[in-house]
Amino acid sequence: AQKVTQAQTEISVVEKEDVTLDCVYETRDTTYYLFWYKQPPSGELVFLIRRNSFDEQNEISGRYSWNFQKSTSSFNFTITASQVVDSAVYFCALSLKPEGKSTFGDGTTLTVKP
Amino acid sequence: KAGVTQTPRYLIKTRGQQVTLSCSPISGHRSVSWYQQTPGQGLQFLFEYFSETQRNKGNFPGRFSGRQFSNSRSEMNVSTLELGDSALYLCASSLLKAGTGASYEQYFGPGTRLTVT
């Protein structure tokens, strides 16, 4: 069985601060996919990134960056220079396939204050 | 390109009733997955359909069922509703690459918020 743990339930920062959201996963499979999603108050999950287990290269996309470390089973997400619009619930998820049947963490609620 | 649409957006039902939720995937997407989101249990996978066939199923009782039509639109049905079925039901669609089974990312709809009283 797969498990995703997001230990941080809520994080509050002031605008322009950097913030890192932690994600630790468990799986016995050697091939798996990790995801991050953003869920704004409107409720719609927005895909942010997908990483497969064979690609440990870190990725940067604008103010977003992801650090994937298989040695610690972690897939952390950093927002640089946070903005109020970043306020949302962020979910980390794991799947044995590129699509469908994802196991989600409980989510981290990020509040960015002006 | 239109996104994933779900209808209705909000629904109030009484315990014991049944309900049908609808999901229209992005045009060209043939894989549809359903999730239940509640404050207590978080996001949980319900089932996944591809080409009208259920490919995966989560750990939900038989009261939860679904189907997919030839145009890839999907419905999920919950019979004999219980108070605990109150949740946000999310649908996601994916585009599968022909021949490989691999796909692009899942695109989620806005969800249907079901309240059971």
Q: For B39, list phi and psi in degrees, rounded to 5.
A: -60, -35
Q: Is the peptide bond before B8 cis (omega within 30 degrees of 0)?
A: yes
Q: Given this model, what pLDDT does residue B4 score?
A: 95
Residues of A in contact with B88 (CB under 8 A): 43
Query: Is there a contact between A48 and A40 (Cβ–Cβ < 8 Å)?
Result: no
Measured between CB atoms, does B55 come within 8 Å of chain A?
yes
Percent of chain A with pLDDT strictly greater than 70 = 97
Nearest to A101 among B56, B88, B96 (CB): B56
Residues in chain B with CB shorter than 8 Å from the CB of A93 are 43
Query: What does the pLDDT average to over B6-31?
Result: 95
Instruction: Determine the pLDDT at residue B23.
Output: 98
Are B47 and B57 spatial neighbours (Cβ–Cβ below 8 Å)?
A: yes
- Higher pLDDT among residues B55 and B77, named by residue: B77
Whole-number Cα distances in Å, A111 to A18, B15, B110: 12, 36, 21
pLDDT one-digit tens code per residue, A35-69: 999 999 888 899 898 888 888 778 888 999 999 99
